[in-house]
Structure 1
């Protein structure tokens, strides 16, 4: 992958760290995502890698919101590593230049899309960590970037029903807590 994807790669690295730390019997734990278990959250992010591969190759995108656990029915860490490896291989220089739909922004090169897409694995890293009872501190630089992306994309996601209403953050909250509250998550 190109150097400009360092934030995206760091978000994926942190997600992998959390996946690797989930107890074998922890995958059925409830997550902060309504109706989803830890396995569902992991499957959604693994499915996100299939989505990125589809964007990179021009293949039809998969539905990653319906039955996301199907992306990691067995060993979750192995499913994650396989999906990530396959996606890395698809992110050639030409693929990163491929125009992909970016909602209200129109079509943008995949490389630029991925700079904003880091919001997805970043926030779901927090969701998975919470479900697994693990520390849920995110990279502050990535949070800053992701929060800006969230503020640009939240209205469309809320209109589509894929994001709930914002919550009021606690007084004096740090940027991670404010971002999570903006995305409908109670981080306290």
Structure 2
């Protein structure tokens, strides 16, 4: 385990709080992920939590499923799986030999950036602490070459070099920091 686990816990808690506050009438709103509305993005987040839980135990991603509204519970199970020291060891066969620490960073990015997507969709602020921002920006910069052509994130969006670090990170991950519904 390392410094990523406390960041994961905080991110999952903040995202769960945001998800719990959403109402049914917000589920059809657009998101910065052009292929997802709010409900589809929540469905993706639920699926991702099950996947990151499975990966921590040496498994792979489960098949896609329908939205159930249980993101907080899935996030908690995923965190429990990553709370085991062996979850951080070695590589993942399911993800082509990626080191588990890289998968944990992907977990962090997925939770935080999609929470940002949701907050933008519903017009709510979403705060990210400086340590998490630094970790996400570092991941975005370090993983840019391997993400080329990947469907996981969009093509980078041009963001001024003097923009806030989180804006630069979401830009590298294919989001326009100025996006509005």
Compute the TM-score of the two structures, normalised by the length of structure 2.
0.82
Q: In structure 2, how many angstroms separate the alpha carbons of the residues matched to 1:84 and 1:171?
A: 33
Deviation at 1:31, TM superposition (A): 0.6
Q: In structure 2, how many angstroms separate the alpha carbons of the residues matched to 1:168 and 1:99?
A: 33
Tell me the equivalent position of 1:117: 107
Q: In structure 2, how many angstroms separate the alpha carbons of the residues matched to 1:37 and 1:163?
A: 16
Q: In structure 1, how many angstroms separate the alpha carbons of the residues matched to 2:46 and 2:169?
A: 23
SS of the equivalent of 2:26 reads: coil
Q: 2:60 touches 2:95 (CA, 8 Å); kept in 1? A: no
Question: Within the alignment, does 1:82 sit opposite 2:73 as a pair?
Answer: yes
Aligned length: 176
Q: Which shows bigger deviation, 128-137 or 150-159?
A: 150-159
Tell me the equivalent position of 1:133: 123
Post-superposition CA distance 1:25-81 (Å, at most 9, x none): 1111111101201122122122111111211223342245xxx6x1x33xx2xx012
Question: Please, which of 136, 157, 161 is the counterpart of residue 151 of structure 2?
Answer: 161
Q: 1:168 touches 1:181 (CA, 8 Å); kept in 2? A: yes
Write out aligned runs for 1:18-33 (5 A): 18-33=18-33
Q: 2:170 touches 2:176 (CA, 8 Å); kept in 1? A: yes
Tell me the equivalent position of 2:10: 10
Q: 2:46 touches 2:71 (CA, 8 Å); kept in 1? A: yes
Tell me the equivalent position of 2:36: 36
Q: In structure 1, how many angstroms separate the alpha carbons of the residues matched to 2:102 and 2:170?
A: 23
Deviation at 1:87, TM superposition (A): 2.3
When residues 98 and 53 of structure 1 are mapped into structure 2, their CA distance, relative to the original with a 3 A threshold, is farther
Give the superposed CA RMSD. Answer: 2.5
Question: Within the alignment, does 1:93 sit opposite 2:85 as a pair?
Answer: yes
When residues 161 and 111 of structure 1 are mapped into structure 2, their CA distance, relative to the original with a 3 A threshold, is closer
Q: 1:47 touches 1:62 (CA, 8 Å); kept in 2? A: yes
Q: In structure 2, how many angstroms separate the alpha carbons of the residues matched to 1:156 and 1:23?
A: 36
The structure with the greater share of residues assigned to helix is 1
Compute the TM-score of the two structures, normalised by the length of structure 1.
0.79
SS of the equivalent of 2:92 reads: strand
